[in-house]
Amino acid sequence: MLPVNHSGMWFSQPRYTLFLRWLILAGLITFGTWMAWDMHILQRLLLADKTRIGMLITVVFLFGSTHCAARSVFLSRQQEALESIIRMAARDLPQVRNGRLLFGQQTLTPPSLAESYLVGAISKRSLASTDAPASDQQLLAQVMAEQARGQHEAGWFVANSLVKLGLLGTVIGFVLMLTPVTTLESFDQSQVQNLLKQMTVGMGVALNTTLLGLIGTMLLGIQYLLLDRAADRLVAQTVDFAEAYLSTRPVAED
């Protein structure tokens, strides 16, 4: 039997839950993109942009989404490893041997973040004095949190850069819109019409790039928020399990 946890943090989840959630979100984004393409909205947004900033925003968004997919698979595997540790700990006492956790004669393959934390926690509890383990546990938790979500900081930078690229397109669009005004020599009707056409192109660049940047930032931010929540949950579950379970049972160490 698994130890009782009133917070509900140890309850097992379906396999690869995080990756499945990302797939659902990616499916919705793909469907929305297809709808925009079918209604010729996406073509107008991209083809009307002479600066190609809209294409750059699209490429950066796809790169960020691919990184989110890889991180969702990684965190899903880490969650699976933690749940395997919890199931094994319900049957056998954990042992630390050569920096790995053993339950009976069975070890976990491959190593995981939860296993590294528990090995460190067991070693610290065995070697440290009774007045020091709290700070040691906090340090181990901080290290695990950095390993679980450290790469997401770069992802948030990429997500925020989409807004900055959109604003860059806005500035360039206004420059393109106002530049023809300086070449206007008279208020002849034909020249004014040509001027308005050129200004419309610049305004289109400004609005289109801003719209693409805002949409890309929001969609990519949702993905990284999903990853951050999963990483926080993984760390919280590991720390909670170590505190409430391993600290109440004797642990063998070789």
**Domain segments of the chain as ranges:** 17-88+151-248
Question: Which has more confidence, 48 or 8?
Answer: 48
Pair of tokens at residue 171: 């500035």
Span 2-18, average pLDDT: 59
Q: Which of residues 9 and 76 earns the better pLDDT score?
A: 76
Confidence of residue 107 (pLDDT cuts 50, 70, 90): low
Q: Residue 68 pLDDT > 90, yes or no?
A: yes
Cis before 111? omega within 30: no
Query: pLDDT tens digits, residue range 152-161?
Result: 999 999 999 9
Mean pLDDT computed over every residue of the chain: 80
Q: Is the pLDDT of residue 215 over 50?
A: yes
Distance, in Å, from the CA atom of 55 to the CA atom of 52, rounded to the nearest integer, reads 5
Phi and psi at 52, nearest 5°, equal 65, 20
- pLDDT range class, residue 6, cuts 50, 70, 90: very low
What does the block give as tokens for 204? 């289109």
pLDDT at 185: 61
- Given this model, what pLDDT does residue 3 score? 44
Assigned token pair, 154: 């770069």
Q: DSSP labels for 161-189?
A: HHHHHHHHHHHHHHHHHHHHHHT-----H
Element (H, E) at 103: strand 100-103
How does pLDDT run across 114-127, given as a tens digit for each residue? 888 888 887 776 65
Q: Whole-prediction pTM value? A: 0.81
Report residue 105: phi and psi, to 5°: -110, 10
Cβ–Cβ under 8 Å, residues 89 and 245 = yes
Question: Does residue 229 carry a pLDDT above 90?
Answer: yes
The answer to whether the CB of 72 falls within 8 A of the CB of 18 is yes
Distance separating the N- and C-terminal Cα atoms of the chain: 26
Is residue 164 very low, low, confident or very high in pLDDT (cuts 50, 70, 90)? very high
Query: pLDDT grade, residue 136 (50/70/90)?
Result: low
Stronger pLDDT, 212 or 126, i.e. the higher one: 212
Q: Is 240:9 a contact under the CB 8 Å cutoff? A: yes
Beta sheet of 252-253, edge-to-edge order: 106-107, 100-103, 94-97, 252-253
State CA 48 to chain mean position distance. 31
Residue type, 12: S
Q: How large is the average pLDDT for residues 52-58?
A: 90
Whether residue 144 has pLDDT greater than 60: yes
pLDDT band at 183 (very low <50, low <70, confident <90, very high): low
Non-local (6+) Cβ contacts of 46 within 8 A are 54, 55, 58, 208
pLDDT at residue 192 in the model: 65
